[in-house]
């Protein structure tokens, strides 16, 4: 079981990173910011890879048995491999292949526009009396820090930031699909097999 678990988790981890990267790349080709408002839709693809990976391991390689702790281990390995591979792909894309930094430039421009919009909303709230001066100044300082980080953003920072988001999402998806897979067909089959062995 251990041999199949590691091999299958690594395989689906690489696959999930590749699928999500291709989705971001397609967004860029279509003229959208690959790290903007449409980005998080890749969670559907990522969740599908985790679910199919767990199903394949459970039903095709482990006789229909998938205990919760094994499902979590499988998801952790898949998520870690996928995170590292996605970070590598993003760095190669934005830092090596895109020498003119067009991809980062689009993301930087839209992020600054979003902050500017938030600043205008804060000023309107302050002028209308809905926001106190002290809170307004604190928000403005926070916005300036964010703008400075965006202006100095490079391929390494972007790859790291996106990889962390990917990893956190993978943790939630792992626990979510663990609950589904361990209580489905594999769980009942596993209990029947265990009870059969105990009778013998």
What's the pLDDT band for 1 if we cut at 50, 70, 90? low
Per cent of the chain over pLDDT 70 is 90
| Residue 179 placed within a domain | yes
In this predicted structure, which of 71-80, 109-118, 166-175 has the lowest mean pLDDT? 109-118
| Residue 21 placed within a domain | yes
| Residue 138 placed within a domain | no
Distance of CA 106 to the CA centre of its chain: 21
What's the pLDDT band for 53 if we cut at 50, 70, 90? very high
| Residue 107 placed within a domain | no
What's the pLDDT band for 199 if we cut at 50, 70, 90? very low
Give the SS3 label for residue 35.
coil
| Residue 120 placed within a domain | no
In this predicted structure, which of 59-63, 93-97, 183-187 has the lowest mean pLDDT? 183-187
pTM here is 0.82
Which tens digits make up the pLDDT trace of 184-196? Answer: 443 444 444 444 4
Select from 140, 166, 26, 8 the least CA-distant residue to 86: 166
Question: Cα–Cα distance between 101 and 8 in angstroms, integer?
Answer: 35
| Residue 87 placed within a domain | yes
Q: Could you tell me the residue range of the domain that residue 36 belongs to? A: 2-99+159-199
| Residue 133 placed within a domain | no
| Residue 63 placed within a domain | yes
Question: Cα–Cα distance between 177 and 182 in angstroms, integer?
Answer: 8
CA 89, 91, 97, 102 torsion-angle sign: positive
Mean pLDDT of the 143-163 span: 92
Question: Cα–Cα distance between 123 and 126 in angstroms, integer?
Answer: 5
CB 5 within 8 A of CB 57: yes
Helix ranges (DSSP H) in 128-200: 133-151, 155-182, 185-199
């Amino acid at each position: 079981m251990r041999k199949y678990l590691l091999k299958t988790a690594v395989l689906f981890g690489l696959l999930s990173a590749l699928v999500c990267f291709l989705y971001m790349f397609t967004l860029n080709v279509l003229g959208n910011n690959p790290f903007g408002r449409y980005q998080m839709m890749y969670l559907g693809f990522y969740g599908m890879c985790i679910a199919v990976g767990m199903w394949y391991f459970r039903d095709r390689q482990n006789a229909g048995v998938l205990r919760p702790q094994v499902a979590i281990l499988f998801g952790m390995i898949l998520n870690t491999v996928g995170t590292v591979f996605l970070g590598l792909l993003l760095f190669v894309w934005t830092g090596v292949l895109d020498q003119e930094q067009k991809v980062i430039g689009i993301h930087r421009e839209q992020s600054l526009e979003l902050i500017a919009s938030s600043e205008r909303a804060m000023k309107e709230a302050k002028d209308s009396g809905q926001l106190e001066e002290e809170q307004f100044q604190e928000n403005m300082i926070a916005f300036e820090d964010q703008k400075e980080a965006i202006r100095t953003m490079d391929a390494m920072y972007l790859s790291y930031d996106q990889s962390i988001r990917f990893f956190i999402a993978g943790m939630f998806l792992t626990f979510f699909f663990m609950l589904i897979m361990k209580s489905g067909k594999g769980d009942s089959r596993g209990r029947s097999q265990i009870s059969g062995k105990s009778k013998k």
